[in-house]
Structure 1
Amino acid sequence: MNLSLITAIKFRKGRRKSGMLSLISIISTMSIAIGIAALIIGLSAMNGFERELHNRVLSVVPHGQLYPQYGNLEQWRQVQKELKENKDIVSAVPFVNFTGLIENGSKLGAVEVQGIDPEQESQTSALPKFVLNNKWQEFKSDSQQVIIGAGLAKTLSIKEGSWVSLLLPVSTNGSTQLKQPKRVRLHVIGILDLSGSLSNNVALVPLADAQKLLDMGDSVTGVMVNVDKVFDASRIIAQATLGLNMNLSFNSWENAYGFMYRDIQMIRQIMYLAMIVVIGVACFNIVSTLVIAVKDKQRDIAILKTLGATNGLIKHIFIWYGIISGLIGSLMGVILGVVIAWQLSNIMKVVESLMGHKILNSHIYFVDFLPSEIHFTDVAIVFVTAMLLSLVASYYPAKRACKVDPARILNSF
């Protein structure tokens, strides 16, 4: 093995004498490097999206909601107590949900208003940490306060500390006559920035204030729950709902945001397939490199055979030749891919500043930046796959090198 490896290294150094062989070898090595780097960068981006989905979306939105089919939930405290007794449910908090219009000067925008308990929310959700300037600490009931989503604030030119009007529809009790909407002045105590579409049309008010605005008394829209196994939320919430003493409907985060997770997994699988094909094509460039190397080294092979080299030694020499080419390309690709993936978010910020607009539109995507997270398991899998393909690609040229006839080759010189 040492002899075949040393000889392969000598052969690679000697390839510089042949300009064509050297060029093809460089192209095949760079192809492997670029393919591996692209795969690592792509997988790191998918890992980043999955991380943001878990840390930014699933830590903010409730994993599920329970609510009556008609009207409001009167006995929500009993429901909350029963849900908290379920070992699979981490938290259960009441909420009020309604739609309205936010008016700021001449600008008007639709908004989904959520009434939540500030104290309970801070204990069960990561929502408070996304409120800018730590203004959640000042968020309290009976103070005409509201927290506005960053996307909505930008659209309506609302700043922290501004006063806005909330317009609510007034029930007509079956009458066809339109009534003037109820108008409430609210102080924007903070801005909720989730860096994506989630904060485009949302506003938060204290639960007690929301109940007063809708004249609900002590009733609520429903109960929000978080579970310990996020990706099994539908089953857990369904079983918990069936175990309650009252008939309630439910939904889970998978109904509203499950497509995000499925899309990430689908793109990851497609990327694996596409990039493995790219790396495979790059690795099989080694075949052409080795075929030319065998042609170029025919005289050296003939001399080795006359000195007693076996076909096994010749085969191992050229297998090592191909593995070394694959190793160099793979190492270059891993280093390039890891460095770019490590700084991918910053690189994209520079690109976006040069282009003058964001690549990911916050009105469409749940984040408006390109996240990245390197998993060294992915890096190892890509590296090993590239080396295996290099080994496979080296086998045919190495076998062909064994068929060189020393007598014919040496007589021709």
Structure 2
Amino acid sequence: MNLSLITAIKFRKGRRKSGMVSLISIISTLSIAIGIAALIIGLSAMNGFERELHNRVLSVVPHGQLYLDSGNLENWRHVQQELTENKNIVSAVPFVSFTGLIENGSKLGAVEVQGLDPEQEQQISALPNYVLNHKWQEFKADNQQVIIGSGLAKSLAVKEGAWVSLLIPVSASGSTQLKPPKRVRLQVIGILDLSGSLSNNVALLPLVDAQKLLNIGDSVTGIMINVNDVYRANQIIGQAALSLDDTLSFNSWENSFGFMYRDIQMIRQIMYLAMIVVIGVACFNIVSTLVIAVKDKQRDIAILKTLGATNRLIKHIFIWYGVISGLIGSLIGVILGVILSWQLSNIMGFFESLMGHKILNSNIYFIDFLPSEIHFFDVAIVFITAMLLSLIASYYPAKRACKIEPARILNSF
């Protein structure tokens, strides 16, 4: 093995009769490097999206909700007690939810209002961390306060400390006559910035204030639930709902945001498939490189055979020749891919500043930046795959080198 490896290195460094071998060798090496770098960057981006989905979305959005199909939940404290006894449920807190309009001068925006308990929310959720300037500590009941999303604040031209009007629809029970909406003046105590579509149409009120605005007494819309295994939320919440004394409907984050997780996993699988195709095409350039190298080195092969080299040794020499090409390309690709993935968010931010707009639209995507997270397991899989394909691609030219007849080659010179 040492002799075949040393000879392969000498063959690569030796002077070639044709510059075509060098050109094709460089092209095949660069093809492998670019393919590997592109795949590492793509996989790192998918890892980044999955991280942001877990850390940004699922740390803010409740994993599930329990509610009545019609009306409000009166005995929510009893339900809350039952839920907290479930070992798979981390937290269960009440909430009030309704749709309204926020008005600032001549500008109007639809909003999904959530009534939350500020103290409990700070203990169980990462939501307070995304309120700018640490304003969550000032978010109290009975102070005419509201926290609105950054997207909504931008569209309404609202800043912290400004006063806005919240318009709440009033149901006209037993009458076909439309009633004017209830209008309430509120001060924007903070801006919720989730860097994506989640903060485009949301407003937060203290739970007590929301109950008073809707005149529902102590009742709530439902119970928000967080579980210990977020990817089994649907199953855990469903089982918990069946075990309750009351008949309640439920949903989970999978109903609202599950498509994001499924899309990420699907794209990851497509990336792995593309990895085999792209690296395979790049690695099989080694075939043409080695075929030309065998033609270029046929006199050297003939001399080696005359000196007693076996077909096994010749085959190993050219297998090493191809593997070294694959190794160089793979190492360059891994280094390039890891560096670019490490700085991917900054690089995209630089291009966004040059173009003057965001590549990911916050009105569409749940984040407005391109995240990246390097998993060295993915890097190892890509590297090993490239090396295996390089080894496979080297076999045919190496086999062909064994068929060279020394007498015929040496007589022609």
SS class of match (2:174): coil
> Could you say which residue in structure 2 is the equivalent of 1:369?
369
Structure 2 runs not aligned, ≥5 long: none
Q: Residues 43-67 of structure 1, C-alpha deviation per residue, up to 9 Å, x if partnerless?
A: 0000000000000000000000000
Deviation at 1:178?
1.7
- Counting only pairs closer than 5 Å after superposition, residues 285-300 of structure 1 correspond to structure 2 as 285-300=285-300
The answer to whether the aligner puts 1:256 opposite 2:272 as a matched pair is no
> Could you say which residue in structure 1 is the equivalent of 2:29?
29
> Could you say which residue in structure 1 is the equivalent of 2:219?
219
The answer to whether the aligner puts 1:156 opposite 2:168 as a matched pair is no
Counterpart amino acid of 2:194? L
The answer to whether the aligner puts 1:169 opposite 2:169 as a matched pair is yes
The answer to whether the aligner puts 1:333 opposite 2:340 as a matched pair is no
TM-score (norm 1): 0.99
Distance across 2 between alignment mates of 1:282 and 1:174: 73
Distance across 2 between alignment mates of 1:362 and 1:410: 71
Distance across 1 between alignment mates of 2:15 and 2:359: 45
> Could you say which residue in structure 2 is the equivalent of 1:120?
120
SS class of match (2:14): helix
Contact kept? 1:15, 1:22, Cα under 8 Å: no
Counterpart amino acid of 1:410? L
Deviation at 1:69?
1.4
- Counting only pairs closer than 5 Å after superposition, residues 207-246 of structure 1 correspond to structure 2 as 207-246=207-246
> Could you say which residue in structure 2 is the equivalent of 1:136?
136
> Could you say which residue in structure 2 is the equivalent of 1:391?
391
Distance across 2 between alignment mates of 1:271 and 1:406: 47
Distance across 1 between alignment mates of 2:17 and 2:312: 26
SS class of match (2:140): coil
> Could you say which residue in structure 2 is the equivalent of 1:82?
82
Distance across 1 between alignment mates of 2:68 and 2:155: 34
Distance across 1 between alignment mates of 2:274 and 2:15: 32
Q: Judging changes above 3 Å, is the alpha-carbon distance between structure 1 residues 17 and 174 closer, same or farther for their aligned structure 2 residues?
A: farther
Distance across 2 between alignment mates of 1:335 and 1:266: 26
> Could you say which residue in structure 2 is the equivalent of 1:193?
193
Distance across 1 between alignment mates of 2:364 and 2:274: 26
Counterpart amino acid of 1:80? Q
SS class of match (2:26): helix
Contact kept? 1:90, 1:227, Cα under 8 Å: yes
Distance across 1 between alignment mates of 2:296 and 2:14: 10
> Could you say which residue in structure 2 is the equivalent of 1:145?
145
Deviation at 1:15?
5.0
Distance across 2 between alignment mates of 1:235 and 1:208: 31
- Counting only pairs closer than 5 Å after superposition, residues 18-57 of structure 1 correspond to structure 2 as 18-57=18-57
Q: Residues 333-388 of structure 1, C-alpha deviation per residue, up to 9 Å, x if partnerless?
A: 00000000000000000011111111100010000000000000000000000000
> Could you say which residue in structure 2 is the equivalent of 1:108?
108
Counterpart amino acid of 1:342? W
Contact kept? 1:83, 1:240, Cα under 8 Å: yes
SS class of match (2:358): coil
Distance across 2 between alignment mates of 1:160 and 1:343: 33
Say what the alpha-carbon RMSD is for the aligned residues. Answer: 0.7
Deviation at 1:17?
4.7
Deviation at 1:176?
2.1
Contact kept? 1:15, 1:21, Cα under 8 Å: no
Distance across 2 between alignment mates of 1:5 and 1:256: 57
Distance across 1 between alignment mates of 2:17 and 2:258: 59
- Counting only pairs closer than 5 Å after superposition, residues 258-277 of structure 1 correspond to structure 2 as 258-277=258-277
SS class of match (2:294): helix
Distance across 1 between alignment mates of 2:321 and 2:401: 12
> Could you say which residue in structure 1 is the equivalent of 2:183?
183
Q: Give the paired residue count.
A: 413
Deviation at 1:73?
0.2
> Could you say which residue in structure 1 is the equivalent of 2:348?
348
Deviation at 1:166?
0.1
SS class of match (2:109): strand
Distance across 2 between alignment mates of 1:192 and 1:51: 20
Distance across 2 between alignment mates of 1:146 and 1:16: 76
> Could you say which residue in structure 2 is the equivalent of 1:405?
405
SS class of match (1:187): strand
Q: Percent identity?
A: 84
Deviation at 1:274?
1.4
Q: Residues 222-246 of structure 1, C-alpha deviation per residue, up to 9 Å, x if partnerless?
A: 0000000000001100110111111
Contact kept? 2:275, 2:382, Cα under 8 Å: no
Deviation at 1:14?
1.6
SS class of match (1:143): coil
SS class of match (1:41): helix
Distance across 1 between alignment mates of 2:362 and 2:383: 35
Distance across 1 between alignment mates of 2:276 and 2:91: 43
- Counting only pairs closer than 5 Å after superposition, residues 282-321 of structure 1 correspond to structure 2 as 282-321=282-321
Distance across 2 between alignment mates of 1:161 and 1:7: 76
Distance across 1 between alignment mates of 2:67 and 2:391: 60
SS class of match (2:42): helix
Distance across 1 between alignment mates of 2:161 and 2:38: 46
Deviation at 1:16?
4.8
Q: Residues 11-62 of structure 1, C-alpha deviation per residue, up to 9 Å, x if partnerless?
A: 0012555311000000000000000000000000000000000000000000
Q: Residues 114-143 of structure 1, C-alpha deviation per residue, up to 9 Å, x if partnerless?
A: 000000001110100000001001001000
Contact kept? 1:15, 1:293, Cα under 8 Å: no
SS class of match (1:60): coil
Structure 1 runs not aligned, ≥5 long: none
Contact kept? 1:35, 1:278, Cα under 8 Å: yes
> Could you say which residue in structure 1 is the equivalent of 2:4?
4
Contact kept? 2:17, 2:296, Cα under 8 Å: no
Distance across 2 between alignment mates of 1:15 and 1:151: 64
Q: Residues 280-320 of structure 1, C-alpha deviation per residue, up to 9 Å, x if partnerless?
A: 00000000000000000000000000000000000000000
SS class of match (2:246): coil
Distance across 1 between alignment mates of 2:355 and 2:69: 49
